[in-house]
Chains A and B, each alone.
Chain A
Amino acid sequence: MRGQVVAVSLIALALVLLPALAPRDNVLNWVFLALLYGALAQSWNLLGGFGGQVNLGHAAFFGLGSLVTRTLWLNQVPLPLALVAGTAAATAMGVIIGAPSLRLRGPYFAIGTLAVAEILRITTANALPEVSFLPTTYLAGYRLLPRYYLALGLVSAVTFVAWWLTRSRFGYGLAAVREDADVAEAIGVHAFSHKLLAFVLSSLFAGMAGGLFAYYHVSYYLQFPFNPIWTFDALLITFLGGAGTVWGPLVGAGFFLLLRETLALRLVELHLLIFGIVFVLVVLVFPGGFVAAWRALATRSERSLQ
């Protein structure tokens, strides 16, 4: 326990000091991406890992956050306000989709979220087909540093929420709902409101990550953040690292980006294939991901020491 606290503090300190230590922007850029993906995966994990509800349309919330933030920001709205508006839009969407579909058992929630994401993507592609460029006045002042610290703040906030889920009444209630919603109800946990609140938190942070993406990227198609690949990456990262664990999505994000950069050098399409296969294997054969593997190793070595 104490060792864990020390390790986390050290890593946090290193991340805070990194811009001063790393001379080259591409290192900082890489870590920025790891933080962004880590935050997005962690936001999926809040509901998918801790709450057991499979959201297949996470990109919708990421995309909506980015769309609203980008549009407002480029229309002279101050960035903090634009970020808040983007986050609020994603959260509101979460309530609208979550309220009907989380009431039902079975696959309705997964279907509902997938449908919403695709329809938003197609509609955005139809209605706003242009590339969104940062105007030259914005480009002149562009620096990676504030984006980096925003990402660090975001990942810390969403990970704090994940940590809170492991040691709060609400977190225990949510775990009970994940395990068996009927039993949870029978011991006093209102299953629906727990799922809905977890979903709202999840879409809130996904929207924020989308806003950060809009603030970060110089030029992209507005439909791009709605692409289902964002959902897939969030799922892959979460499952690789360990769904329903606090550190899994962060470990998974680091690993994912390392692997992607290595693979993408030579095998542009193949890396998607490999990720797809890895994902299916993890779900089928090793649902606990890295963190579970690590824990299993740790307890085994503890036993052998005794």
Chain B
Amino acid sequence: MSSILLQNAIFGLLVGGLYGLGAVGLSLVFGVLKMLNVAHGELIMLGGYVSVWLFTLWRVDPFVSILAGGPALFLVGAVLYQALFRRLIHFHEEHKIKNSILIGFGLALILQTVAILVWEADERAVTPSYAGSVFALGGVVVPLSRFAALLLSFAALGGLHLFLTRTRYGTAIRATAQDEQAAALSGIPTGTIYLVAFALGSALAGVAGALVSVSDAISPAIGLNWTLKALIVVVLGGMGNIFGTFIAGLFLGVAESLSGFLLGNVYREVVGLALFLIVLSLRPQGLFARG
């Protein structure tokens, strides 16, 4: 019994790492731009297709595809920002959030339909030679590729952290997030910073998408589900709090997996909802936020 429980918890942790990485980009964009891009899951879906594409064309390993998925989605994000979201940047805060949500909602439909037109509606999967390999760890079975994906999620997050705290550019992004006017006065080109932050958030979605493709099938319809997970995770972790977001992702993965095991798979999604509503009513600043 307890070893099955542990097995489920480990599996939840592996999935949760992807939830966390999938949500970090959304959280970053919200923290810096005060915009909520509800087409974030569709960006993850596009990242997944980059990896599927490279694999079917040239048998590129999905872990290598991260190197293409990230930059490709960085570009997509930059274009989307310039074409759409940039127009909202000087709106009053509530107005900005509201309009970014509306635009993201339309954009999600557009991207999903484009994916159907280009790749057709059915699922595509990447099948590298090691797809089914597992290793045992004290009686618990761990799928190799998911484990590697979790490690890479940690690495991506660590990289993001170093970028934001140790580089000039990262510092400029944080300064802009805190106080745009003060940042602009001290010579930071805030317009470019917003563009880069949005593109960076998209790039993180691209990386997450490539990692998703390692162990899950990709289809045009997965976007909304990923947006949903990302939103729940962002609320649990505290809006705009990057580390809280990642921990919340792990937490949601484990909670879903354990409740799926204990209550039956039909209701595993309900657990996310219940958690979400409880946090919203009792601790709207997030589970893992200070104060």
Contact = CB atoms under 8 A, between A and B. Distances in A.
A114 B227 CA distance: 10
Nearest to A278: B106
Interface stretch (B5-13, B94-102, B170-178, B182-190): B94-102
Among A108, A115, A181, A283, the one with the most B-chain Cβ atoms within 10 Å of its Cβ is A115
B201 to A, nearest CB: 15
Interface in A93-117: 96-97, 99-101, 103-108, 110-112, 114-116
Interface string A176-199: 000001000000000000000000
Given A114-B228, A284-B103, A272 B98 contact: no
Interface string A28-71: 00000000000000000000000010101000000000000000
B106 A280 contact: yes
B41 to A, nearest CB: 10
Contact of B117 (A54, A106, A107, A269): A269
B109 A272 contact: yes
Contacts of A123: 266-267, 269-270
A112 B275 CA distance: 11
A99 B36 CA distance: 22
A276 B107 contact: yes
A52 B36 CA distance: 16
Interface in A253-306: 269-270, 272-273, 275-277, 279-280, 283-284
Contacts of A181: 94
B14 interface: no
B224 interface: yes
B101 A235 contact: no
Contacts of A276: 106-107, 109-110, 113
A115 B270 contact: no
A195 B232 CA distance: 23
B105 A235 contact: yes
A126 interface: yes
Interface stretch (B70-78, B139-147, B277-285): B277-285
A273 B114 contact: yes
B277 A118 contact: no
A107 B231 CA distance: 10
Contact of B113 (A104, A126, A269): A269
Nearest to A239: B102
B38 interface: yes
Interface size on B, as a range, is 35 or more
Contact of B276 (A99, A115, A239, A283): A115
A7 interface: no
Contacts of A11: none
A192 to B, nearest CB: 13
Interface residues of A, number: 42
A38 to B, nearest CB: 20
A273 B266 contact: no
Interface string B110-135: 10111011000000000000000000
B82 interface: no
B101 A56 contact: yes
B248 to A, nearest CB: 13
Interface in B218-267: 224-225, 227-228, 231-232, 234-235, 239, 265-267
A235 B270 contact: no
Contact of A269 (B116, B231, B267): B116
A144 B285 CA distance: 51
Interface in A102-154: 103-108, 110-112, 114-116, 118-119, 122-123, 126-127
Interface string A219-240: 0000000001000100100010
A176 B114 CA distance: 40
Interface in B16-50: 30, 36, 38
Contacts of A126: 265-266, 269
Given A100-B284, A275-B109, 18 more contacts: A56-B101, A56-B105, A100-B277, A107-B239, A108-B284, A111-B231, A115-B231, A119-B272, A232-B106, A239-B102, A269-B117, A272-B112, A273-B114, A279-B105, A279-B109, A280-B106, A283-B106, A284-B103
Interface of B: 30, 36, 38, 84, 87, 94, 97-99, 101-103, 105-107, 109-110, 112-114, 116-117, 224-225, 227-228, 231-232, 234-235, 239, 265-267, 269-270, 272-273, 276-277, 280-281, 284
Interface of A: 52, 54, 56, 96-97, 99-101, 103-108, 110-112, 114-116, 118-119, 122-123, 126-127, 181, 228, 232, 235, 239, 269-270, 272-273, 275-277, 279-280, 283-284
16 contacts: A100-B280, A107-B97, A115-B273, A118-B224, A119-B228, A119-B269, A119-B273, A123-B266, A123-B267, A232-B106, A235-B105, A269-B117, A273-B109, A273-B113, A275-B109, A283-B102
Which 7 pairs between the two chains have the least Cβ-Cβ distance? A276-B110, A276-B109, A100-B281, A280-B106, A279-B106, A273-B113, A119-B273
